[in-house]
Structure 1
């Protein structure tokens, strides 16, 4: 592991977007970041202060339908290539057009962003429990994590170069993602990446699609009051273990 004892590490947490309990996720992530005394954390709701992100060593993101400008996309990509480490969670890879005649669309609106992340969200089936399994049992980021069932959004994503990704967690599902324009997922292998590493230059992105959360007031303006509180994988001890290992990875640990 890297010896960072006594060394300040600057971190940016980006938490923002729609249809999720961003306040809840932001607080939980700040608690985890606070377990590292050397982390000095700044928080922003989007990616537009990209120069500040690039001035640090670690980026943690929990966003939904937050579409960075071309300049922000390229600045953050260059930062990753130069050695930056990015923990991207849940909807970071999403661009959503809500209310189209055929449902929720996922426009391919940010090709540089999707390529940097290694994926773009396309759809998810209705929330129901599904099994998450380890794809790389010898990799320290997931070694010893037992298969677990989670009540989360099962991300169906597009990968420009899946061979360039290191799969860590996956799940298997075939079916209809009703409510989305691209809803037919009844063919193919049915295997979907849940967590993976995407190396890029001297840096890397660690993407984890888990982490859905929603409270009563997060569906506005579509719905004024959402009756159900959803916490998804935030109720799973395994998810917190994965996040803690992810932060260790981001600060430079390799085992």
Structure 2
């Protein structure tokens, strides 16, 4: 519920591995700052239970940030009591790189527990980063109204899905995701890959947007790459992504 004078308290969790969290954090704070009712506190992980208990809104942009059992329970309670959670990109990802000899392979252990049911998905794999088309599943929905199919350069997420999702944007991919232990998942079915969806839980709602990849030159050092030699801004330079993301933030801030 909104506080005095309609103030809304937001928690932004932005951190993890293999992405440019400085860039994502800045851009998300800019979007939140466009909403005059919202006041935001920022964390790198889910060690923010006191703030979460008081929050109206939650925005997460993470990769391989693993909430502990008490944190998973608090996140579920937040949505159950009516909180709105905008989850971006790798929020649903738990990823383990192989440590043995030979080609590197990533596994995606199911360590989110019941939180995967709240989020509606858990990341399994993605094909190589390259341009792909995002299609509009529900052109009548306000979050995507007027958006035409668009091309974006990002990680096309193949996920394990949970519960009934209201899919608003999707992509299509059938093929291997090399380098992931479950990378054949996308070769075994031709189901659409949700890109943006809504998932109710209790009195609240999760809005999940799988787009958002960005990476700086020095973000892969824990994998032995000192300097990637390039900066990847991915969809953060794509007008349609930014338009829909702004609408998602505005929708969160329109709560009573």
Normalised by the length of structure 2, the TM-score is 0.94
1:160 to partner: Cα distance:
2.4
Q: Secondary structure at the match of 1:129?
A: strand
Partner in structure 2 of residue 142 of structure 1: 144
Which whole-Å CA distance do the structure 2 matches of 1:183 and 1:90 have between them? Answer: 18
Partner in structure 2 of residue 181 of structure 1: 181
Q: Is residue 127 from structure 1 mapped to residue 126 from structure 2 by the alignment? A: no
C-alpha contact 1:51 1:75 (8 A) present in aligned 2: no
1:37 to partner: Cα distance:
1.6
> What is the 5 A alignment of 1:1-255?
6-100=5-99, 103-161=105-163, 164-184=164-184, 185-222=186-223, 223-252=225-254
Which whole-Å CA distance do the structure 1 matches of 2:99 and 2:205 have between them? Answer: 35
Q: Secondary structure at the match of 1:186?
A: helix
Which whole-Å CA distance do the structure 1 matches of 2:254 and 2:29 have between them? Answer: 19
Which whole-Å CA distance do the structure 2 matches of 1:146 and 1:224 have between them? Answer: 39
1:100 to partner: Cα distance:
4.9
C-alpha contact 2:35 2:250 (8 A) present in aligned 1: no
**1:181-240: per-residue Cα shift (whole Å, max 9, x none)?**
111122312410001000011100000000000010100121111112111111101111
C-alpha contact 1:48 1:69 (8 A) present in aligned 2: no
Which whole-Å CA distance do the structure 1 matches of 2:147 and 2:137 have between them? Answer: 10
Cα 1:133–1:4 change in 2 (3 A) is farther
Which whole-Å CA distance do the structure 1 matches of 2:49 and 2:73 have between them? Answer: 9
Alpha-carbon RMSD across the aligned residues, in angstroms, is 1.7
The more displaced of 48-57 and 237-246 is 48-57
**1:140-164: per-residue Cα shift (whole Å, max 9, x none)?**
1111111100010000000122xx1
Unaligned ranges ≥5, structure 2: none
The more displaced of 47-56 and 93-102 is 93-102
Unaligned ranges ≥5, structure 1: none
Which whole-Å CA distance do the structure 1 matches of 2:4 and 2:232 have between them? Answer: 38
1:252 to partner: Cα distance:
2.8
Q: Secondary structure at the match of 2:29?
A: helix
1:6 to partner: Cα distance:
4.6
Which whole-Å CA distance do the structure 1 matches of 2:6 and 2:162 have between them? Answer: 37
The more displaced of 18-27 and 44-53 is 44-53
C-alpha contact 1:84 1:203 (8 A) present in aligned 2: yes
The more displaced of 16-25 and 222-231 is 222-231
Q: Secondary structure at the match of 1:25?
A: helix
